[in-house]
Structure 1
Amino acid sequence: MLAIVGLIGIIVAVQYQVVGRYVFNDTPTWAEALALQLVLYVTALGVAVGVRDAGHIGLESLVSLLPEGLRLKIEVLIHALVALFGAIMVHSGWLWTQLKWAELDPMLGMPVGIDYLSLVIAGALIVLFSIEHIVALLRNEDVVPSWY
């Protein structure tokens, strides 16, 4: 739902910028910067939802050919590696957020570190969703996609 609100915000900001530029001949400088900021967060949420719904790229045909016991171990390993990637995103994103927090974006008047905070949020969600998949695998359950 947040990604949908963000998409609507992108559309409104871009339309406001286009109308301001071509109708009123007065380009609002903040509209483009806001749209770019929203793109970062919508993309971050989209990546996390893709992990939640197991929509990421995988070679499931090879894994499905393995014996049941080995298949389960490989699937748990895959989700653990995705969680590790998410944890690296959290760590790196947090470092960049701290490094850039003192700089101000001249168009929005907000810290530049907010750009990198989207990595922290997406990484944390990826870790949580990967753990959810691992728990579901160990319980022999399915994770219901969020779009149901």
Structure 2
Amino acid sequence: MRKVPAPAWVPNPAAYDEVLATHVDAYGPALVPLGHLDLKPEHLRRRSDDDVVPLDVESVRPDVTGLIDLITLPAVLRQAGHELSAARVLGLYLDATAARGAGWTAGSLKNALRAYAAATGLESLHGLDR
């Protein structure tokens, strides 16, 4: 993996490097995960089978990972009137990324979330790290 400097807004570059390393471990060098979905209730639609789907997608950049979308998802679902536990959201993320070739485990994903919080100064993971 090519070393990319942490963005200027990241207060803990070492933790950010750990976030990127966990992504390389989970996705490998050839798979590009989706990230930065700009999640908010206006970008969610409920399908006829009652599933909720996001509409706004951008490919991940070195300074943006899909983790912020995962962290935001429980709050956005609550705002949209679709309450899911943090454990369920984490499980759905693990299943969805595994179906697309990622090798996350619950432990590696939780470690990545904690590193992301440390890297960015984020105060809450909404229970996703438990």
Please say whether Structure 1 and Structure 2 have the same fold, judged by a TM-score greater than 0.5: no
Richer in helix (by share): 1
Tell me the TM-score normalized by structure 2.
0.31
Q: Which has the larger radius of gyration?
A: 1
Tell me the TM-score normalized by structure 1.
0.28
Richer in strand (by share): 2
